[in-house]
């Protein structure tokens, strides 16, 4: 059974940093691209970033470029999202998701970890 478990969310001040993790199991992690998608409370989904199975290729939404960094450790079956220079508008529930095939469709999602940026 595929499982994705996010962790690392919490309360952080504006300008601060946070590192999210996503522990994966139930599939051959290195064979699939992985992504982060966020959801503002009560609002819609927003794609954040995607990384290839080998970790050599990354993609970011324009508003996250230069502030967020996606990475993965295939030996630990874990996906990461390093978030810097956080803003109030980054407050959201952050989901990690497994790509089904390719990079643009996601067949398994975690339950999310909540990031709150506030002073």
Residues that bind other proteins (CB under 8 A): 35, 37, 43-47, 50, 59-62, 95, 97, 100, 102-107, 109-112
Nearer to other proteins (CB atom), residue 87 or residue 105: 105
Closer Cβ to other proteins, 14 or 89, answer by number: 89
Give min distance, CB of 77 to other proteins, in A: 19
Please give, one letter per residue, the 3-state secondary structure of the chain: CCEEEEECCEEECCCCCEEEEEEEECCCHHHCCEEEEEECCCCCEEEEEEECCCCCCEEECHHHCCCEEEEEECCCCEEEEEECCCCHHHCEEEEEEEECCCCCCEEEECCCEEEEECC
| Shortest distance (Å) from residue 1 CB to other proteins | 13
State the minimum distance, in angstroms, from the CB of residue 15 to other proteins. Answer: 25
């Amino acid at each position: 059974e595929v499982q994705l478990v996010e962790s690392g969310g919490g309360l952080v001040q504006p300008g601060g940093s946070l590192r999210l993790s996503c522990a994966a199991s139930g599939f051959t992690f290195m064979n699939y691209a992985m992504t982060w998608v966020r959801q503002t409370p009560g609002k819609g989904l927003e794609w954040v970033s995607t990384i290839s199975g080998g970790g050599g290729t990354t993609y970011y939404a324009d508003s996250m470029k230069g502030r967020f960094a996606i990475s993965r450790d295939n030996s630990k079956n874990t996906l990461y999202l390093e978030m810097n220079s956080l803003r109030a508008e980054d407050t959201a529930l952050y989901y990690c998701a497994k790509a089904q095939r390719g990079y643009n469709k996601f067949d398994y999602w975690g339950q999310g970890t909540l990031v709150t940026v506030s002073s």
